[in-house]
Structure 1
Amino acid sequence: MHTEKISIHTGYIPLGQFLKLAGVIDTGGMVKIFLAEYDVFVNDEQEQRRGRKLYPNDQITIPDVGVYEIVKEEDA
């Protein structure tokens, strides 16, 4: 599966904001529902906290949706 790189210009991004930035969900209000209905893995560990901080080089896997990697904006 192709890994899509998502660039951030800050030190980290909360999981909920990442899901919006990556186009997985449309609004922030959908985060809680999405995390309740879909398995989300951060570095191969299941994660359900929308506030989980994601840093450059973290890998996010959402089965049947995609695989993403956080990169610092200047590395993108």
Structure 2
Amino acid sequence: MSLHPHPVIDVRGEIKLGQFLKLAGLVEDGAEARVAVQSGDVLVNGEPETRRGHRLADGDVVVVDLPAGEAGAVVRLVAGR
């Protein structure tokens, strides 16, 4: 059983918030990611994050407040090239 109510998304190397939102399927595209982040609708570990370029760390919990409800995912950094 997971400790998080959100799915865990494997990421190779480092990833920025805007990229992760798209990878995890929390937004449709980069434009939607930009709007969500700039609007203050994205939380990283429970804190608002307004920088799309914010680098995420292993275990970060990313949540987006969408019109249809809250959606989120957990970052899991994995080794690889």
Same fold (TM over 0.5): yes
Q: Could you tell me how far 1:38 is from its partner in structure 2?
A: 5.4
Letter in 1 for 2:44: V
> Alignment length, in residue pairs?
73
1:22-72 CA-to-partner distances (Å, cap 9, x unmatched) read 112222233222223451111111001100000111111223232311002
Change (3 A) 1:26 1:62: closer
* RMSD, aligned α-carbons: 2.0
Which of 47, 50, 68 in structure 2 is aligned with 1:48? 50
TM-score (structure 2 length as normaliser): 0.74
* 1:5 counterpart residue number: 8
Q: How does 1:57-76 map to 2 (within 5 A)?
A: 57-63=59-65, 64-73=69-78
Unaligned runs of 5+ in 1: none
Distance 1:30 1:67 in 2: 15
- Paired AA for residue 6 in structure 2: T
Pick 1 or 2: higher relative contact order, CA cutoff 8 A, min separation 6.
Answer: 1
**Residue type of the alignment partner of 1:41:** L
Identity %: 32
Structure 2 unaligned segments of length 5 or more: list them.
none
Kindly provide the amino acid, as one letter, of the partner of residue 13 in structure 1: I
Which residue type is aligned with residue 8 of structure 2? K
TM-score when scaled to structure 1?
0.78
Structure 1 moving runs of 4+ over 3 Å? none
